A and B are shown apart, each in its own frame.
Chain A
Amino acid sequence: MGRSGSGKTSMRSMIFNNYSANETSRLGATLYVERTEVRFLNNLNLSILDCAGQDNLMKNILMPGNNQLALCQVLIYVFDVSNIEEPKDYITFVDVIKRLNQTSPSCKFFILFHKWDLVMEHEKETAKSNIISALIKSGEEIKFHELYLNGTVKIFTTTIWNETLYLAWSRVVEELVPKANIMKNYLKKISRVLNAKELIIFERKSFLSIVSYSNMFDQDNFYNFNSDRNDGYSHYGVTADRSQKISSIIKTFRKSASYYNGGKFQKLTLHSRSSIIYLDELTDTMAIMLVLPNAMLNESPINQQNINNGNSGNYLQNNQNVSSSTNANENNSMNYNYLNSNTSVKNSFEDSFIGSVIKTARDYFQNIDFGSN
């Protein structure tokens, strides 16, 4: 929700309908409530209610008899920071929260300070704190300050012109995805097998990151690693930042690729001196990205013997009840020394090895049931 012209539909079109930022200028105003159903993960459906922002329509939606907002799990409220009407905008916002507290008590709130690129660089800090204090002031009734401090309300500054949009939406989606811990644990397992630097799972259509697992704090000085959180869970640090960049890069490429004979982006393999990166589809709705340091075969806990016996799939199986094993390992019994001496063959060998790991992971993720709790 948010006032008319604040950019709600533009945002939705970019995330879910593959619009580019320029194309959103073509969109017209939304009238009443536009409801979209998106098949998100396996059997998890997402319904998105894009509400109109004109005053009288908004009043209509908030009327006591209207059940549109019942049982909503996340509210995204958009403020157009370049154009805030005080105190009307804040009053409307408080009304919305009040209404939601009645209809769906467990709802989480995300507030986006949108069109953030229009705020001058040196005014950003003050602008943000000004709006927050104004919200706290007008939100006394709903205890806004408390909600803000305990994390029920999260605030992001966004613009459709850079990846901050994806950052905010990934947070929203992470809030909605059940069983994130199961997925994260599995990623941790793969990471142990491959000695991976980072693993990220994306939703395929919107390319928002859902879960990530990172091992990078040992070498990244900028990664704010604190010792009591050595479980490797990525917090809102650099991993998040990176995955948004990837979302935006991949979406741009996917779009231009589709202009050429309708090419659909499927997978990417990249070898460079510092890292090896794989991006592949995991299920119909998920894609996985693996980043390994480029000395994978030497440092990995799967040593030479394991590779020669071709039991990468088994390694995962021992830790996890994954039902099917892989056949791709049959041709993996190559001479390790030979691999090291010949880069081109080594690269392709690694590719097929990772391929088999992804295949095992695919079976696992396909069977996750997101529909039931």
Chain B
Amino acid sequence: MNAHLILMGLKRSGKSSIVQTVFHGAEPQNTILLDTTSKPTTFVFRSLIDLQITELPGQVDYFQDTWDDQDINSIMKDVDCVVYVIDCLDEYKATINNLLNVVSFALDNCPHVKIHVLVHKIDGFSEDFKPDIMREIENQVSYLLCEIGHEKHIDYHGTSIYNQSIFEVMSEIISNLVPCLPSLENILNHLVQHSKIEKAFLCDVKTKLYFVTDSSPSDSTLYEVCSQFIDLSVDINSLYLPTHPDDTDSEIQSRKKQQKITSHCTLLPDMKIYLKQMIKSLCLVVYIKDDQLCDSINGQAILNYNAKIFEEGLAKIIDCTNKDPTDYNL
């Protein structure tokens, strides 16, 4: 399963900061020190899907004659998703023109592409103004798009690297690129129904992005607690990994991957978070409200058992999707 995602936006809009915070685990405060990206950079995020992420520098206008036309065509050739970052603290008129160029180019050359606009650095506004800013940008873009005769559904998200929002939005964007998403959602819903779970996430262990969640309404503080719990479990376990004197870094890394952590913690008065590490550096994190199920020895075993069945199902779905890419929904 592969997908290709492009990050665009004017310079200093925060593209590199997003990449560093979300995919490389950098502290948000430290990303102000990053250099300007000067040429397109690509890396592959390997997890449930192998996602190729290309970051285009913002100071180049790709749609001017001076820029080699061939290049942007080859970059955009097999793109599945474009993420456009707008710095909403800045004057965004120039940005919107640039965005319109990107959208019309995308519509002419690869109409199937998904376009997401991140209204970034939104933490600079107070809670009351946030919806206004979002609406203003959204209206302007759709009005101008209409004027040049294009129609395209664009998703808008308010984000900031200083809170959980960038992780949630990136999770949402990436999970839309997972080919077998409906079937995964389906089995996750089954798990939730049969184990008295309130909310479940299928996350990547390293980045804490979630690929699949069940259909119940999501709550960003709950997601934050869950992602912190992944950190806690992995960190505490790694303190007690057996070590040998002649271990290389890669050996330690691979041992960490094979750990297969199963953990759960109790939060008073009646909450419980359960985590199970699965194949492909994924982990299932679930939140349970009803403590009665978990306190008994049987309840715990039922949850473990169901999670194991889920893991088997997950492996089968991934297997099938890899074999026959046309048959996504089994």
Interface of A with B (CB < 8 Å)? 197-198, 219-222, 242, 245-246, 249-250, 252-253, 256-257, 259-261, 263-275, 277, 291, 331, 343-345, 347-349, 351-352
A331 contacts B297, CB within 8 Å?
Answer: yes
B237 contacts A348, CB within 8 Å?
Answer: no
| B164 → chain A closest CB, angstroms | 10
Distance A269 CA – B263 CA, assembled complex (angstroms): 5
Identity of the chain B residue whose Cβ is nearest the Cβ of A280 in the assembled complex: B266
B261-288 CB mask vs A (1 if < 8 Å, else 0) is 1111111110100000100000000000
- Closest 4 pairs between A and B when the two form their complex, measured CB to CB: A344-B304, A263-B267, A270-B263, A348-B300
B267 contacts A266, CB within 8 Å?
Answer: yes
With A274-B241, A275-B240 as contacts: A253 and B263 at CB distance below 8 Å: no
With A220-B243, A249-B236, A291-B240 as contacts: A271 and B228 at CB distance below 8 Å: no
B297 contacts A256, CB within 8 Å?
Answer: no
Identity of the chain B residue whose Cβ is nearest the Cβ of A22 in the assembled complex: B29
Identity of the chain B residue whose Cβ is nearest the Cβ of A268 in the assembled complex: B265
- Within 239-253 of B, Cβ neighbours of A (below 8 Å) are at 239-245
Is B147 at the interface (CB under 8 A from chain A)?
no
A256 contacts B225, CB within 8 Å?
Answer: yes
A272 contacts B260, CB within 8 Å?
Answer: yes
Distance A351 CA – B265 CA, assembled complex (angstroms): 12
| A163 → chain B closest CB, angstroms | 11
Identity of the chain A residue whose Cβ is nearest the Cβ of B247 in the assembled complex: A221
Is B172 at the interface (CB under 8 A from chain A)?
no
B242 contacts A219, CB within 8 Å?
Answer: yes
A257 contacts B237, CB within 8 Å?
Answer: no
Identity of the chain B residue whose Cβ is nearest the Cβ of A277 in the assembled complex: B236
Distance A265 CA – B273 CA, assembled complex (angstroms): 11
Chain A residues lying within 8 Å of B241, measured Cβ to Cβ, are 274
Chain A residues lying within 8 Å of B245, measured Cβ to Cβ, are 221
Chain B residues lying within 8 Å of A266, measured Cβ to Cβ, are 265-268
With A270-B263, A277-B237 as contacts: A252 and B228 at CB distance below 8 Å: yes
Chain B residues lying within 8 Å of A274, measured Cβ to Cβ, are 237, 240-242, 255, 259
With A221-B244, A260-B222 as contacts: A265 and B265 at CB distance below 8 Å: yes
Chain A residues lying within 8 Å of B219, measured Cβ to Cβ, are 260
Distance A219 CA – B304 CA, assembled complex (angstroms): 30
With A221-B245, A249-B232, A260-B225 as contacts: A273 and B240 at CB distance below 8 Å: no
Chain B residues lying within 8 Å of A250, measured Cβ to Cβ, are 232
| A65 → chain B closest CB, angstroms | 47
Is B235 at the interface (CB under 8 A from chain A)?
yes
With A267-B266, A347-B262, A348-B301 as contacts: A275 and B243 at CB distance below 8 Å: no
B228 contacts A272, CB within 8 Å?
Answer: no
B268 contacts A263, CB within 8 Å?
Answer: yes
With A252-B228, A256-B228 as contacts: A352 and B297 at CB distance below 8 Å: yes
> Can you pick out 30 interface pairs between chain A and chain B where the beta carbons lie within 8 Å of each other?
A219-B242, A242-B240, A245-B239, A246-B236, A249-B235, A253-B232, A256-B225, A256-B228, A260-B221, A260-B224, A260-B225, A260-B267, A265-B265, A268-B265, A268-B266, A271-B261, A272-B259, A272-B260, A272-B261, A274-B237, A274-B240, A331-B297, A344-B308, A345-B301, A347-B300, A347-B301, A347-B304, A348-B297, A349-B297, A351-B297
Distance A343 CA – B263 CA, assembled complex (angstroms): 14
Distance A143 CA – B232 CA, assembled complex (angstroms): 46
Chain A residues lying within 8 Å of B258, measured Cβ to Cβ, are 273
Distance A269 CA – B266 CA, assembled complex (angstroms): 9
Chain B residues lying within 8 Å of A252, measured Cβ to Cβ, are 228, 232
Identity of the chain A residue whose Cβ is nearest the Cβ of B277 in the assembled complex: A272
Chain B residues lying within 8 Å of A270, measured Cβ to Cβ, are 233, 236-237, 261-263
Is B229 at the interface (CB under 8 A from chain A)?
yes
| A286 → chain B closest CB, angstroms | 16
Supply 10 further A-B pairs (C-beta < 8 A) apart from A264-B269, A271-B263, A352-B297. A198-B240, A253-B228, A261-B271, A268-B264, A269-B263, A270-B236, A274-B240, A277-B237, A277-B240, A347-B300
| B129 → chain A closest CB, angstroms | 23
Distance A256 CA – B304 CA, assembled complex (angstroms): 26
Chain B residues lying within 8 Å of A275, measured Cβ to Cβ, are 237, 240
With A256-B228, A264-B268, A265-B267 as contacts: A272 and B297 at CB distance below 8 Å: no
Chain A residues lying within 8 Å of B237, measured Cβ to Cβ, are 270, 272, 274-275, 277
Distance A257 CA – B221 CA, assembled complex (angstroms): 9
Identity of the chain A residue whose Cβ is nearest the Cβ of B246 in the assembled complex: A221
B293-330 CB mask vs A (1 if < 8 Å, else 0) is 00001101100110010000000000000000000000
Chain B residues lying within 8 Å of A268, measured Cβ to Cβ, are 232, 236, 263-266
Distance A259 CA – B163 CA, assembled complex (angstroms): 13
Distance A246 CA – B237 CA, assembled complex (angstroms): 10
Distance A264 CA – B265 CA, assembled complex (angstroms): 10
Chain A residues lying within 8 Å of B301, measured Cβ to Cβ, are 344-345, 347-348
Chain A residues lying within 8 Å of B221, measured Cβ to Cβ, are 259-260
Distance A274 CA – B264 CA, assembled complex (angstroms): 17
| A17 → chain B closest CB, angstroms | 20
CB-contact partner of A197 in B228, B240, B266, under 8 A: B240
Distance A211 CA – B207 CA, assembled complex (angstroms): 34
CB-contact partner of A263 in B233, B243, B261, B271, under 8 A: B271
| A342 → chain B closest CB, angstroms | 8
| B10 → chain A closest CB, angstroms | 29
Chain A residues lying within 8 Å of B305, measured Cβ to Cβ, are 344
